[in-house]
Amino acid sequence: MSRAYNFSAGPSAIPEPVLHRARDALLEWGDERASVIEVSHRGKAFVALVDQLQSSLRALLGVPDDYSVLFVQGGATQQFAQIPMNIAGPDDIGDYLITGHWSRKAHAEAATVARTHVVASGEAANFTTVPDRAQWSLTPGAAYLHVTPNETIQGVEFDDAVDAGATPVVADMSSNILSRPVDVRRFGIIYAGAQKNMGAAGLTLVVMRDDLLARRGRPLPNIFTFAAQAKEKSLLNTPPTFAFYITALVLEWVAAEGGVAEMARRNRAKADMLYAAIDGSNGYYRNPVDVRYRSRMNVPFTLHDAALDEAFLSESKAAGLLALKGHKAVGGMRASLYNAMPLDGVRTLVEFMADFARRHG
Ligand SMILES: Cc1ncc(COP(=O)(O)O)c(C=O)c1O
């Protein structure tokens, strides 16, 4: 075995015990005498798995009874359009807070199917901070306010307890779902692709308040209609069964490790360790984000001389530290510290960083 510490932004590290179980189930799943990917999604075993996925997710996130939990396809990107199509009528306005690459993209996609308004944007500050709440120009009576509480590329994270009065808040939590406790009641909709903190690519979580589920923005085919997905318990058509299975195992793992409160404690410790190494490097490494909004999940950093980037990447890879290359929009490096990244991985990274700085001056 030569598995290394994987700092990929997504798809990303999966807890190793989950991979061991999945390896076995790939050949034979439980009493099925067949692989988990060979059985019908309408069969008893798989339907029970979907029930388990529902109940585990509800328990971990503390989802209230008047919210539905859906597992759909198309990634978070599909939700950029599907949510406005479902909950905004032709005369409604969807508000957007733009804090980085992904919220900008969510807005651009929504604008193809709905009327939108940007309440504030951090673009002028190169998305290194979040516009102050006092500067947001919320639309009275907006259909919703969309926020991205963790910007995966810029490494900007903010308190997801956004207050928008009576306007339902829609949050893209693709890169920080299950990383800390969330008060679901503060949101109309929470959505997230599974491939970072929750499992394998192919499955997208949508948690939505039932009054929003009942909204009909416009007539849509069933496959795009949340109410139809809910009626069929997320089995409207053939789901990505293996992604469902992996996510069920990841949720079991999170619960067994102590739930989201314990994940939050670990994530804080990991992020603190890495930021301390960056800030204590006398400018050798640098993170540009306003300290109030530094992400615990995705930590972008640059080296004092970009000419060293290639050496940093090849040497870190040789040292067993994978996928540290930053997104091209930001450059430099990025370390993603999702739930499955152990503290030891971060310790190995900061030791490598100190050693690299000593050797390369
Ligand atoms: C915050 C955020 N939103 C949306 C997306 C897009 O997700 P998908 O590729 O699942 O559509 C990503 C992917 O990295 C993301 O980090």
Measured CA to CA, the distance from residue 35 to residue 33 in angstroms comes to 7
Query: 276-315 pLDDT, tens per residue?
Result: 999 999 999 999 999 999 999 999 999 999 999 999 999 9
State the alpha helices, DSSP H only, in 96-240.
101-110, 210-213, 226-231
Position 217 confidence tier, pLDDT thresholds 50, 70, 90: confident
> In the chain, where are the structural domains located?
16-256, 258-360
Q: Which of 281, 355, 277 is nearest to 318 (CA)?
A: 355
The CA distances from residue 126 to 71, 138, 155, in Å, are 34, 22, 12
Query: Which residues have C-beta within 8 Å of that of residue 212, sequence separation ≥ 6?
Result: 86, 87, 168, 188, 189, 226
Residues with CB under 6 A from ligand 1: 10, 75-77, 102, 148, 152, 172, 174-175, 193
Specify the CATH number of the domain 258-360: 3.90.1150.10
- Sign, CA torsion 192/133/145/125: negative
Topology of domain 16-256, per CATH? Aspartate Aminotransferase; domain 2 (3.40.640)
Q: Which of 83, 152, 205 to mutate to test the pocket of ligand 1 (most atoms within 8 A of CB)?
A: 152
Q: Which atom of ligand 1 is nearest to the CA of 74?
A: 11
Give the distance (Å) from ligand 1 centre to CA of residue 76: 5
Instruction: Name the closest-CA residue to atom 10, ligand 1.
Output: 75
- pLDDT of 1 reads 64
Expressed in angstroms and rounded, the spacing between residue 30 Cα and the centre of ligand 1 is 32
Residue 11 contacts residue 175 (beta carbons within 8 Å): no
Query: Looking up tokens 């999940």, which residue turns up?
Result: 297
Return d(Cα 37, Cα 27) in angstroms, integer: 9
**pLDDT tens for residues 183-213?**
999 999 999 999 999 999 999 999 999 999 9
| Residue type at position 224 | F
Residue range 137-147, pLDDT digits in tens: 999 999 999 99
